[in-house]
Structure 1
Amino acid sequence: MDELKVKKSPLQRAKMTLSILAFIVIAACSKVEGEPGHQQRAEGEGPIHIVTTIGMITDVVQEIGGEEVKVQGLMGPGVDPHLYKASQGDIQKLDDADMILYGGLHLEGKMQEIFEKLEQRKPTVAVSKNIDPSVLRSGKDAGGSQYDPHIWFNVKHWVSAAETIRDTLVEYDPDHAAVYKQNAEAYIAELNALDAEVRERIAEIPEAGRVLVTAHDAFGYFGDAYGIRVMGLQGISTASEYGSKDVSKLRDFLVENQIKAVFVESSIPTKSMEAVIAGAKEMGHDVKIGGELFSDSMGEPGSDADTYIKMLRHNVNTIAAALK
């Protein structure tokens, strides 16, 4: 059989050798870039290319990073992060990014595995990572993961997220540390003012009427922080489907407590709450839709909910107007 083997010419052998060497060089370079320690911006580079998940994170990164960052969000208005599946194009965007910032606490569902792999090659940070677990709400009782990921509904938790974003940028790009710190200081001052504003607006609602009924259990932190009872038709994650028992239970609650208004969410179809309203009407109790709230995503560009601050202000004003 040996004599049947085709002998390679010197030119073919040379080409093969070069191909092997090229592969070794590429693999070596990839290994260097993949080491966790190789995570600081090179001097003189352009804006940091950052990929984020939900719009609220995109907004904060832009506020703190300013002209030193170029931010690309994967999930736009009306997108549900719990059900989001990364496309091949998303994987490419994540791979091309200098830095990745995401919510964490399993907000992004199945994308968690992708983030865990990428953090070995580049700064890939959950903005919720520095929040004390003792102040996090459990997610297990509401059909979710260990913790409720909707931390932005307590402004104080979102201050922690902003600080994490600031510190991540400072560590990666120390040459512009002063810029990030100054921008963060101004933005966090706005958040603290927003926190006080939300408390004042909720205080305008009669205590007995402070009941917020929504499509899914995303507003738990909001309720805990600002003194309003919260109920959702679905659990913390919209991946957990609701059934007829859930509809009946919520319908009975509305009738027994004479709740006058419920709220729909921009990222969830309205049919779920319409079923509850119809059921209450059959029992002789009229319930209206108090308005649309933004839970897992912000509003369209140019709307009154196209930034985190404007989104939360829209929500609290909508809630207060319907329940007062």
Structure 2
Amino acid sequence: MPVRPALIAAALAVAVSGCGGSDQDSESAASAGASSSSKPIAVVATTTQLGDIVREVGGPSVDVHQILQPNSDPHDYEPRPADVQAAAGAKLVVESGNNLDKWMGEVVSEAGGHPAVLAIAPEQTPYTVPGESSGPEASKFDPHWWHDPRNVEAAVAAVRDALVQAEPGNARALRRSADGYLAKVKALDAGIASCFAAVPAGQRKLVTSHDAFNYFAKRYGITVVGAVIPSQSTQAQPSAGQISKLAKLVEQEGVKAVYPESSLNPKLADAIAKQTGARADYTLYGDTLGPAGSSGDTYLHMEQANADAMVRGFTGGARGCTIAGL
């Protein structure tokens, strides 16, 4: 899943302009009493995670058109006319990159506008895990970068700098809100690590609907035993032989829980659980946030909910994971 060179170039241009001389000019303008525009910055964000991050950093300074809605699958999404219209008037487009939302390039092209484009691709985050070498979304890196909060810290900084570049008069407010959100992301990371430290390493064995949690697993010392769809894309289809092999592996490894994902049909995960005696009543948020009011309605809530579900599944319900202040 190679990232489009134009997107990388645009993202780098945004980052450089946000932290060089223009950044200092923004501070000077703000110090001199420069007022912010009465009209919020028009931003198009492709994924639910990015929409949430932009809103947290931008606050009242942004008007976000979020293309993907909760529990929708980014791998097979087809943009709507409303998305093209929003992109036409956008000052900034924020993409997840690495072909997870590859359809956005066509949206921007059809819109005919000239927004700054920021791609938060794994190449531009500090922690990466390998991607797939074949299949419909073959790539050098796994595109599910947000499951390591340290990558989200980098994304927050990039979004902050892009917004400051778009609206220099709001530089101080944008940095202040970004700093507040970064503190919560760091608290999330520390809290999840503390929760898993209480679970013996030999019990941290993960089986999910598709292969979306490698970043999370690497960060918190979890062993990925397998996935119902053995691919980082949901477009792949498991064969009967692959399902049978996974079921045997679940039994051999003593896996206590198989985790369905909120945006995918749980039928196969439920079937493997019934066949092996594992439980399948803990759902994870993999590719998308949950709807408003759910346990995964923000990025912070999403990852706490994932940690809580995994800890409960790994320990047979004996423990959970709660993190204060999110």
Q: TM over 0.5, yes or no?
A: yes
Residue 25 of structure 2 is matched in structure 1 by none
TM-fit CA distance, 1:117: 7.2
Say whether 1:111 aligns with 2:130: no
CA-based RMSD of the aligned residues comes to 2.6
Question: How is 1:63-78 mapped onto 2 (pairs within 5 angstroms)?
Answer: 63-78=56-71
SS of equivalent to 1:319: helix
Q: Are residue 189 (structure 1) and residue 183 (structure 2) matched?
A: yes
| Cα distance change on mapping 1:290 and 1:274 into 2, 3 Å | closer
Distance 1:245 1:258, change over 3 A: same
Which residues in structure 2 correspond to 1:6-155 (within 5 Å)?
44=37, 46-115=39-108, 121-128=114-121, 131-132=124-125, 135-141=127-133, 143=135, 144-146=137-139, 147-155=141-149
The alpha-carbon distance between structure 1 residues 206 and 188, as it changes in their structure 2 partners (threshold 3 A), is: same
AA aligned to 1:93 is A
Match of residue 215 from structure 1: 209
Give the paired residue count.
282
Aligned residue number for residue 323 of structure 2: none
Q: In the alignment, does 2:310 pair up with 1:319? A: yes
Distance in 1, matches of 2:281 and 2:162, equals 39
1:136-162 deviation line (CA, Å, top 9, x unaligned):
222224744312111110000111111
The answer on whether the counterparts of 2:122 and 2:143 sit within 8 Å (CA) in structure 1 is no
1:167 equivalent in structure 2? 161
Q: Does 1:293 align with 2:284?
A: yes
Q: Secondary structure at the match of 2:69?
A: coil
**Structure 1 residues 129 and 214 mapped into 2: Cα distance closer, same or farther (>3 Å)?**
closer
Q: Which residue pairs with 1:4 in the alignment?
A: none
Please name the residue that 1:16 is paired with. none
Instruction: For residue 43 of structure 1, report the CA deviation from its aligned partner.
Output: 7.3
CA contact (8 A) 2:87 2:113 kept: no
- State which of 250, 253, 256 in structure 2 corresponds to 1:257: 253
Tell me how far apart the structure 1 counterparts of residues 38 and 110 of structure 2 sit (CA, whole Å).
25
Distance 1:130 1:166, change over 3 A: farther
Q: How much identity, in percent, do the aligned residues show?
A: 30
Shift of 1:88: 2.1
What do residues 176-213 of structure 1 show as CA deviations (whole Å, max 9, x unaligned)?
Answer: 11111111111111111110001011122221111111
CA deviations on 1:244-269 (whole Å, 9 max, x unpaired) are 12211211111111212110000000
Q: Is the 8 A contact 2:122 2:128 kept in 1?
A: no
For the pair shown, which has the larger CA radius of gyration, 1 or 2? 1
- Match in the other structure for 1:302: 293
Aligned partners of 2:190, 2:41: CA distance in 1, in Å?
33
Partner of 2:28: none
The 3-state SS of whatever aligns with 1:161 is: helix
Residues 43 and 263 of structure 1: is their aligned pair in 2 closer, same or farther, counting only changes over 3 Å? closer
TM-score, length basis structure 1:
0.80
Alignment partner, residue 229 of structure 1: 223
Task: Tell me if the contact between 2:125 and 2:154 (Cα under 8 Å) persists in the aligned partners.
Answer: no
Q: Which residue number in structure 2 is paired with residue 270 of structure 1?
A: 266
Once the two structures are TM-superposed, the CA of residue 132 in structure 1 deviates from its matched residue by 4.9
What amino acid is aligned across from residue 198 of structure 1 in structure 2?
I
**Is contact 1:78–1:298 with CA below 8 Å preserved after alignment?**
yes
Asked if structure 2 preserves the Cα contact closer than 8 Å seen for 1:104 and 1:126, the reply is: yes
Partners in 1 of 2:37 and 2:266 — Cα distance? 50
**What is the Cα deviation at residue 229 of structure 1?**
1.0
Partner SS for 2:283 = strand
Q: Any idea what the Cα deviations from partners look like across 1:209-239, whole Å, max 9, x if unmatched?
A: 1111100000000011110012222210111
Aligned 8 A contact 1:247 1:275 in 2: no
Answer yes or no: is the 8 Å Cα contact 2:88–2:112 preserved in 1: no
User: How much has 1:96 moved relative to structure 2?
Assistant: 2.5
* Distance (whole Å) between structure 2 residues aligned to residue 139 and residue 130 of structure 1: 12
Distance 1:129 1:138, change over 3 A: closer
Tell me by how many angstroms 1:111 deviates.
Answer: 3.1
| Distance (Å, rounded) in 1 between the aligned partners of 2:175 and 2:54 | 12
**In structure 2, what is the Cα distance between the partners aligned to 1:186 and 1:119?**
35
Equivalences for residues 234-249 of structure 1 within 5 A: 234=229, 235-249=231-245
Q: What is the alpha-carbon distance in structure 1 between the residues aligned to residue 249 and residue 178 of structure 2?
A: 43
